[in-house]
């Protein structure tokens, strides 16, 4: 895992910074404490005094940036990823929904070949609460603490973390892996970090139907002998087979990708599994 992924002071650029969404989120991230040092856009204009460059290479040469948030249209996500990693970016977060799946496959291979870290597609981002965020995780749900959080669903994780924060329980690191079927970072990829991080006492997983990511995480927990408590919410109990439920990856096929199959795998790995938000919150707070 690239070192920059864990550095709260990492210099960050924003690709697509001069667009309406780019401006809004750039200023919000900076106000939270993120070290935004530049942007990339064809428009020759700054945002809140932050300089704008035409390419990632120009931005990095001028600012020393090592991480990027891409806030661009769906068809521009892959070019943004390729521009970023070719210029030497080590961590890239892409928040856009609707990235074509073939582009996502290409992006995943390119990032892996470069030895970089991609959070996305379709993610609310990542945060080291109280210090930095890359994306648009809501401030009201963020607080420094000792819970590692990984989530497929942004809105569900906002609610879970908001309720936990109200009980005095914040996060050491919050990673929105996104709900697309092909993504840069999956639950299991982050497990070694949380295992080694002395600032993380327990892990909260916000999962959902579709795919095998939760089963993959369960296997990694067993294989790596992950010793910290794991609390998991698996959403989609009432979902019907063959119907996409919100996320492109939230699709049940036969007996795979169901709440039952995921819950069974996680319980077998020693996790506590819940289908209701408040039940998970009470269990974590009680522990």
- Active-site residues: which are they? 247
Could you give the CA distance from residue 173 to residue 157 in angstroms, rounded to a whole number? Answer: 13
Q: What tokens appear for 166 in the block?
A: 């109200």
CA atoms within 13 A on the CB side of 110: 21
Instruction: Give me the DSSP letters along 174-203.
Output: EEE--S-SS-S--HHHHHHHHHH-TT--EE
Could you give the CA distance from residue 245 to residue 241 in angstroms, rounded to a whole number? Answer: 10
Q: DSSP character for 239?
A: P
Could you give the CA distance from residue 243 to residue 250 in angstroms, rounded to a whole number? Answer: 8
């Amino acid at each position: 895992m690239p070192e920059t992924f864990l550095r709260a002071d990492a210099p960050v650029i924003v690709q697509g910074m001069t667009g309406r969404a780019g401006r809004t989120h750039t200023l919000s991230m900076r106000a939270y404490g993120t070290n935004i040092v530049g942007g990339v856009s064809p428009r020759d204009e700054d945002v809140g005094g932050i300089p704008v460059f035409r390419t990632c290479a120009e931005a990095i040469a001028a600012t020393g940036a090592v991480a990027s948030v891409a806030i661009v249209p769906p068809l521009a996500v892959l070019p943004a990823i390729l521009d970023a990693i070719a210029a030497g970016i080590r961590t890239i977060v892409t928040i856009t929904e609707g990235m074509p799946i073939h582009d996502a496959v290409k992006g995943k291979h390119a990032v892996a070949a470069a030895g970089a870290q991609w959070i996305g597609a379709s993610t609310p981002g990542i945060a080291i609460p109280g210090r930095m965020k890359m994306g648009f995780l809501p401030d009201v749900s963020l607080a420094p603490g000792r819970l590692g959080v990984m989530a497929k669903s942004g809105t569900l994780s906002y609610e879970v973390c908001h309720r936990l924060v109200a009980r005095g329980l914040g996060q050491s690191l919050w990673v929105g892996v996104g709900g697309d079927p092909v993504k840069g970072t999956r639950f299991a990829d982050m497990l070694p970090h949380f295992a080694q991080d002395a600032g993380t006492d327990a892990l909260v997983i916000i999962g959902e139907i579709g795919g095998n990511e939760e089963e993959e995480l369960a296997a990694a927990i067993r294989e790596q002998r992950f010793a910290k408590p794991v609390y998991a919410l698996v959403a989609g109990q009432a979902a019907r087979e063959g119907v996409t439920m919100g996320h492109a990856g939230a699709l049940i096929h036969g007996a795979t990708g169901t709440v039952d199959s995921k819950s069974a795998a996680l319980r077998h790995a020693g996790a506590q599994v819940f289908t209701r938000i408040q039940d998970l919150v009470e269990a974590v707070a009680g522990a």
